[in-house]
Structure 1
Amino acid sequence: MIAIHNEPPGPEGAWGIANVADFHADPLRFVTRCAREFGDVVRLGQDNYLLCHPRDIEHVFVNSQRSFAKETGQKPTWAKTGSYHHALMHTDGKDWLYKRRLLQPLFKRDRVDTGAEPIVAAAEEMIASWRPGEVRALEGDVAPLSAQVVGRFLLGSDLSANEVQRVTSFLAWSFRPLPIRIPRWLPTPRNLRFRWSVLQFDRAIYGLIERLRERSRGSSNLLELVQQARDGEEGCLAPPWYPRDELAIMLLAAHQPTAIALAWTLYLMALHPEVEARVAAEVKQTLGDRRATAEDAERLVYTSAVIKETLRLYPPVWMTARDSLQEVELGGYRIAAGVSLALSPWVAHRDPRWFADPDTFRPERWLDGSLEGLPKYAYFPFGGGPRLCMGAWLAKLALVLVIATVVRRYRLTLAAGAKVTPFAAASFLIPQGVRLVPTART
């Protein structure tokens, strides 16, 4: 029988300000060090723990509607770490179930597959502006592409990169997980910037809603569905400002991770020319002279492995969290109600217990049988359990089709002097300094 302990270990200063400073100085290094030094359950701060074992991560995800809630879910409004708490991603219980069922049809695979042609068209539009030999700052390319994909798929309308950026940029900085929570009412520089950003955001999102309202009437898209939710089931929270909340969070969740994942994938392919050459050969053999289609997402096996390996090394969402609603036992420790539990794909995906040479980019690991028996939640780039990301297939399809479109025309190499680093902003793992040079294929 495993002994049950009351208090997991953690780094020095876990009850004071030291961990906040360490976390902000280098969040990725901090959580990695905590996992390696202290084990599968780590005390990061008062009532804040990090879970590292797939067994415990699975327990939290699978029981998310009974024993655990979203990090912003079961708290009074003043205590929540972010705003827009009526959106699906920030709700729990009956309210979450109603909204999930309402929005799920948008992401059914047959509907997603119909978006393949617009995705390829957007990719072709992106590379049409490239010139062989010129240095491309990739974030300036993938943001407009992702904006087009999200706008056309979710809203049936083209969105400019600037429009999406205005709607979502401050959210990406406002939900950064903290070992110790700072109340929103404190006049810290972070909170003052948040309040100013909320005002700017409201202008952008309400302007977007007004522009789309007449155009989208009668069609099956995100705006139409969230407007229906205002007259939803009794007990579900869908006030007049619910469309603002849902559009903001859904645009953020669909736009930001897709752009991030695409940038990381193209960067890693440029860094490993042998991988890029194999992807290009597979695409040429599979497609010939035709454009990629939804069916090709299954046929491009090695390309898909490259994407899976990218999501392992650089998961766009590097950390998520749940709150315990009741006392539970995890990893041999008694976890009280009201504790915040951090779950980090960055930590799990680089754990040497599950992945040999975990810091090495090796797409073949997904094809050679070496990952047979991999614990289910040793790899969770799209979350898991009932709250598994609805847009997972859309993201995978977009990545495969865009990469296939790019490699048919260009080979990408790193620009001279380019130094690429991951930046953990909010929950997102943003690549900084991705500068690539396209060379036309002959």
Structure 2
Amino acid sequence: MHGMAVLPLPPVVPGIPLLGNALPMMGDVQRFLVDTHLRMGPVFRVRALNQAFVIMAGERANRFLLEHGDEVFSSEESFGGLNREWTMRVHVLRGRPHRHLRKILATGLSRDLLAARWDDVVAETERTFRGWQGRSALPVVDQFQRLAAAQLSLALTGESSAAEFEKLRSAFELVLDVTVTGKWPAAALKWPAYRRARAEIHEFARNALSQRAANPRHDTTDLLDRALAAVDENGDPYPLDVRAGMALQGYFAGVNTVAYLYSFMVYAMLRHPGVLARVTTEVDAAYDDGGLTFERLRGMPALHGLVMETLRVYPPAPGSARTVLKSFDFAGFRIEEGRRVLVATSVPHQLPEHFPDPGTFDIDRDFAAGRKASVYAPFSVGSHTCLGAGMTEVLAVATMAMLVRNLKATLPRPDQPLRITATPGPNPGKRFKVAVTERTI
């Protein structure tokens, strides 16, 4: 500790008065993190309005999070709001309690549930796509949010959450904007409209659990069943509010992360006609050879490559926000206890030493090698890696296959660059729209 005290603090990224680095971080935050890493090195400090962060970036930062994250970091300050507001306890636990609850949730968010309810998910997806036909300016993010929430609620619980969608989306996004991104002050969570929505969503989750308890389903064991049966690491039943938070976990993921991935995939295909042509050929071959079954999803390399490359270029979580529990040194600098840190886990995605010619959209990359080396990390690394990553990747393959088979999408203004926003996570924004017609085969 004595030697650490003489180390300098990380350098500060120049910004503008009052706002600091807020403007670039509210836009394409991944680009900002990569460019700043290349300019300033593996660790630096940024300020955005009233928030200050230490940014750790690069392969070494990912390895540090993987090997030492549980020892020196806490997620309470960054993700405690999800627990306080929605009793999503897994985001703030550490050690044995965290590993235990993750194991329970992993089985409740498994891709096996998608296989078990494949026909229902396909029917809902194709019904949605039929409703898009003939739209000249379809708001992509909004419509994919609705679809992803419906798909995941069907797969994870066997029920639709469509009636609750508006409340779920607005409430979840506000909590993220307050507690994670800091866009709004904490007082926003006291707004009457939010408090009403929060109470109604909690009631919705508790009712879903009570109805399942009274009317068990026997087709498969899903997220609701896991929540009802869950006991903590000591064998004691979790409180009802924690079970409700477990039930909401799937809806929470679908509203944003999955929908943003879908949206970026559509943009990538439309901007890269060669990729679209390869995907279309692969999809048509699957349909012509007996239809799009769940088992057939594994044998679609072009679509898998599209998912992986989209996650590389447009990662849904460019970094993992943490708070330092005890001071440590990194790359010759002192990171002090109490500091908020963002480990920019997706920065290596854009470094040529890990992904040659990173500016080229290439669906044939060796993603497995990058994942093994922890430099391909669209869902973070370490003990807090996204629980729904596997489900997300398979569902993205399936959804894009059905979209390509049924619809033809075009950019109304092909020359208009994509304007990425970081609120509450990186996404193409409300202005991203496409024209949609029925595909003639």
Give the alignment's TM-score, normalised by structure 2.
Answer: 0.83
**Matched residue type, 2:61:** D
Q: Say which SS state the counterpart of residue 402 (structure 2) adopts.
A: helix
Superposed displacement of residue 309, structure 1: 1.0
Counterpart among 382, 397, 400 of residue 400 in structure 1: 397
Superposed displacement of residue 168, structure 1: 3.6
**Structure-1 residue corresponding to 2:272:** 272
Could you tell which deviates more after superposition, 401-410 or 423-432?
Answer: 423-432
**Structure-1 residue corresponding to 2:299:** 299
- The 3 A distance-change label for structure 1 pair 66 and 107 is same
**Structure-1 residue corresponding to 2:66:** 61
**Structure-2 residue corresponding to 1:253:** 253
The number of aligned residues is 425
**Structure-1 residue corresponding to 2:406:** 409
**Structure-2 residue corresponding to 1:159:** 161
Could you tell which deviates more after superposition, 239-248 or 36-45?
Answer: 239-248
In 2, distance between residues paired with 1:373 and 1:313? Answer: 14
**Structure-2 residue corresponding to 1:195:** 190
**Matched residue type, 2:173:** A
In 1, distance between residues paired with 2:169 and 2:235? Answer: 29
Superposed displacement of residue 247, structure 1: 3.7
**Structure-2 residue corresponding to 1:44:** 46
**Matched residue type, 2:440:** R
Superposed displacement of residue 316, structure 1: 1.8
Superposed displacement of residue 420, structure 1: 3.5
Equivalent positions of 1:22-421 (< 5 A) are 22=23, 26=27, 28=29, 30-45=32-47, 48-72=53-77, 83-84=85-86, 86-132=88-134, 134-160=136-162, 163-176=164-177, 190-196=185-191, 198-217=194-213, 218-219=216-217, 220-229=221-230, 232-234=232-234, 238-288=238-288, 290-366=290-366, 376-416=373-413, 420-421=418-419
In 2, distance between residues paired with 1:225 and 1:372? Answer: 34
- The 3 A distance-change label for structure 1 pair 236 and 259 is farther
**Structure-1 residue corresponding to 2:440:** 441
1:154-180, Cα deviation, whole Å (9 max, x unpaired): 2221110x513312433324334999x
Structure 1: tracts of 5 or more residues without a match:
183-187
Superposed displacement of residue 232, structure 1: 3.2
> Does the 8 Å contact 2:326/2:338 carry over to 1?
yes
1:35-82, Cα deviation, whole Å (9 max, x unpaired): 23211111225873111112221221343333322253798x8xx997
Q: Residue 429 in 1 paired to residue 427 in 2? A: yes
- The 3 A distance-change label for structure 1 pair 281 and 21 is closer
In 1, distance between residues paired with 2:296 and 2:34? Answer: 37
Superposed displacement of residue 383, structure 1: 1.7
Q: Say which SS state the counterpart of residue 19 (structure 1) adopts.
A: coil
Q: Say which SS state the counterpart of residue 410 (structure 2) adopts.
A: strand
**Matched residue type, 1:167:** L
Superposed displacement of residue 117, structure 1: 2.9
In 2, distance between residues paired with 1:381 and 1:278? Answer: 24
Q: Which has the higher helix share?
A: 2
- The 3 A distance-change label for structure 1 pair 13 and 141 is closer
> Does the 8 Å contact 1:329/1:335 carry over to 2?
yes
- The 3 A distance-change label for structure 1 pair 189 and 66 is closer
Could you tell which deviates more after superposition, 211-220 or 50-59?
Answer: 211-220
> Does the 8 Å contact 2:321/2:340 carry over to 1?
yes
In 1, distance between residues paired with 2:145 and 2:287? Answer: 26
In 2, distance between residues paired with 1:155 and 1:317? Answer: 25
Could you tell which deviates more after superposition, 65-74 or 148-157?
Answer: 65-74
Give the % identical residues: 21
In 1, distance between residues paired with 2:352 and 2:178? Answer: 25
- The 3 A distance-change label for structure 1 pair 85 and 332 is farther
Could you tell which deviates more after superposition, 170-179 or 82-91?
Answer: 170-179
> Does the 8 Å contact 1:156/1:216 carry over to 2?
no
**Matched residue type, 2:418:** V
> Does the 8 Å contact 1:324/1:340 carry over to 2?
yes
- The 3 A distance-change label for structure 1 pair 346 and 233 is closer
In 1, distance between residues paired with 2:391 and 2:138? Answer: 26
- The 3 A distance-change label for structure 1 pair 345 and 373 is closer
> Does the 8 Å contact 1:420/1:434 carry over to 2?
yes
**Matched residue type, 2:70:** Q
Give the alignment's TM-score, normalised by structure 1.
Answer: 0.83
> Does the 8 Å contact 1:47/1:338 carry over to 2?
no
> Does the 8 Å contact 1:174/1:426 carry over to 2?
no
Superposed displacement of residue 21, structure 1: 4.1
- The 3 A distance-change label for structure 1 pair 290 and 145 is farther
Superposed displacement of residue 304, structure 1: 0.8
**Matched residue type, 2:211:** R
In 2, distance between residues paired with 1:203 and 1:89? Answer: 21
Across the aligned residues of Structure 1 and Structure 2, the Cα RMSD in angstroms comes to 3.5
